Amino acid sequence: MTLRPYPRIFCVCLGLVFISACSNSDSEGTDFVQDPAGMEASELPDNSGGETTINNDSVPASETDAVTNPSNSEGSANSDTVPAQQGELSVLNRDNASGVIFQAFEVISGRAYDRRLSAYPYVKRAPRLEPAVNALAQHLYYETLECNNDGSKTDNVYNQGTGFSEFIFYDTMYVGCNIGGDVINGRSILSGDACCAQGYQKEFTDNYSVSFGNSGRMTVSGTYKRFGYVSVENLNYNITYSGGSLSVSNATTTREPGVLSGSFTMAPPITNNQPVAVVIENRFENNEAPNDYGVFHSLAYATGLMRITSDDSMIVVDANNGDPDTVNITLTSGGDSVSWEAPWSNWFAALAYIPPVIGGDSNPMSADGDGSLLTANTYRDILTEVFAVMQGQRFGREVVNFPNYPYPEFPYDEMRNLDGYGEERSLICDNSGTAVSRPFRWGARQETSGWRTEFSNCTKDGTTYQGNFEERYYGTKINFSSGLTASHNAGTNTFKGSVMYKHRANRGEGQPYSLYQLNNVHFDSTANGNEFLLSDALFNYTFESNYRKPDVDKVTRFSGRLSLASDVTNQQTLQVTIPEEILIEHPEYADNRTLNSQSDFGTLHINAGNGNELFLTAKTGEPGTFRLDIYQPGQAPVQIIERWQDWTSNFGFDFDLID
At residue 422, the pLDDT reads: 87
At residue 398, the pLDDT reads: 86
Calculate the CA 299 to chain-centre distance.
15
Per DSSP, 597 falls in state -
Nearest C-alpha neighbor of 251 from the set 350, 122, 55, 109: 109
Under the banding of pLDDT at 50, 70 and 90, the label for residue 560 is confident
Tell me the pLDDT tens digit for each residue of 161-183: 665 566 777 889 999 999 888 99
Q: Can you tell me the distance from the alpha carbon of 85 to that of 174, in angstroms, rounded to the nearest whole number?
A: 50
- Half-sphere exposure for 14 (CA within 13 Å, toward CB): 1
Share of the chain above pLDDT 90, in %: 26
DSSP assignment string, 229-291: EEEEEEEEEEEEETTEEEEEEEEEEEEETTEEEEEEEEE-GGGTT--EEEEEEEEEE--SPP-
Q: Can you tell me the distance from the alpha carbon of 107 to that of 230, in angstroms, rounded to the nearest whole number?
A: 10
Helices within 265-395 (DSSP H only): 348-351, 379-391
Tell me the pLDDT tens digit for each residue of 624-639: 888 898 888 777 778 8
- For residue 497, the one-letter residue type is G
Q: Can you tell me the distance from the alpha carbon of 117 to that of 514, in angstroms, rounded to the nearest whole number?
A: 38
Residues near 321 by beta carbon (within 8 Å), at least 6 away in sequence: 327, 328, 341
Per the CB < 8 A criterion, the answer to whether 66 and 81 are in contact is yes
At residue 655, the pLDDT reads: 66
**What does the radius of gyration of the chain's CA atoms come to, in whole angstroms?**
26
Tell me the pLDDT tens digit for each residue of 226-252: 876 789 999 999 999 877 889 999 999
Q: Is residue 502 pLDDT above 70, yes or no?
A: yes
Q: Burial of 11 by CB count in 10 Å (0-12 exposed, 13-18 middle, 19+ buried)?
A: middle
Per the CB < 8 A criterion, the answer to whether 56 and 239 are in contact is yes
At residue 69, the pLDDT reads: 26
The mean pLDDT value of the chain amounts to 75
Q: What is the pairing mode between strands 19-20 and 31-34?
A: antiparallel
Lowest mean pLDDT among 52-56, 203-207, 329-333: 52-56
Q: Is residue 488 pLDDT above 50, yes or no?
A: yes
Per DSSP, 120 falls in state -
Q: Which helix (H) or strand (E) element contains residue 211?
A: strand 200-212
Nearest C-alpha neighbor of 495 from the set 517, 524, 466, 536: 524
At residue 54, the pLDDT reads: 35
Q: Burial of 187 by CB count in 10 Å (0-12 exposed, 13-18 middle, 19+ buried)?
A: middle
At residue 407, the pLDDT reads: 86
Helices within 13-153 (DSSP H only): 97-109, 115-118
Q: Is residue 45 pLDDT above 70, yes or no?
A: no
At residue 362, the pLDDT reads: 38
Tell me the pLDDT tens digit for each residue of 89-123: 799 998 999 999 999 999 998 888 887 887 667 87
Q: Can you tell me the distance from the alpha carbon of 471 to that of 451, in angstroms, rounded to the nearest whole number?
A: 6
Highest mean pLDDT among 55-69, 408-422, 581-595: 408-422
Q: Is residue 133 pLDDT above 80, yes or no?
A: no
Q: Can you tell me the distance from the alpha carbon of 41 to that of 573, in angstroms, rounded to the nearest whole number?
A: 26
Q: Is residue 34 pLDDT above 60, yes or no?
A: no
Under the banding of pLDDT at 50, 70 and 90, the label for residue 505 is low
Calculate the CA 307 to chain-centre distance.
29
Q: What is the per-residue burial (b if ≥16 Cβ within 10 Å, else e) of 586-601?
A: beebeeeebebbbbbb
At residue 337, the pLDDT reads: 93
Q: Is the C-alpha dihedral spanning 518, 521, 526, 531 positive or negative?
A: positive
Residues near 267 by beta carbon (within 8 Å), at least 6 away in sequence: 246, 247, 273, 274, 275, 276
Q: E-assigned strands of 489-597? A: 491-502, 514-525, 532-545, 554-565, 574-586, 588-590, 593-595
Q: Max Cα separation, the chain?
A: 90
Per the CB < 8 A criterion, the answer to whether 371 and 612 are in contact is yes
Q: Can you tell me the distance from the alpha carbon of 47 to that of 32, in angstroms, rounded to the nearest whole number?
A: 29
Three-class secondary structure of residue 454 per DSSP: strand
Does residue 554 or residue 280 have the better pLDDT?
Answer: 280
At residue 186, the pLDDT reads: 97
Q: Is residue 84 pLDDT above 60, yes or no?
A: no
Under the banding of pLDDT at 50, 70 and 90, the label for residue 317 is very high
Q: Is residue 82 pLDDT above 70, yes or no?
A: no
Per DSSP, 507 falls in state S
Does residue 165 or residue 481 have the better pLDDT?
Answer: 481
Q: Is residue 557 pLDDT above 80, yes or no?
A: yes
Does residue 194 or residue 481 have the better pLDDT?
Answer: 481
Tell me the pLDDT tens digit for each residue of 565-608: 888 888 888 989 887 888 888 776 655 555 577 777 888 889 88
Q: Can you tell me the distance from the alpha carbon of 309 to that of 307, in angstroms, rounded to the nearest whole number?
A: 6
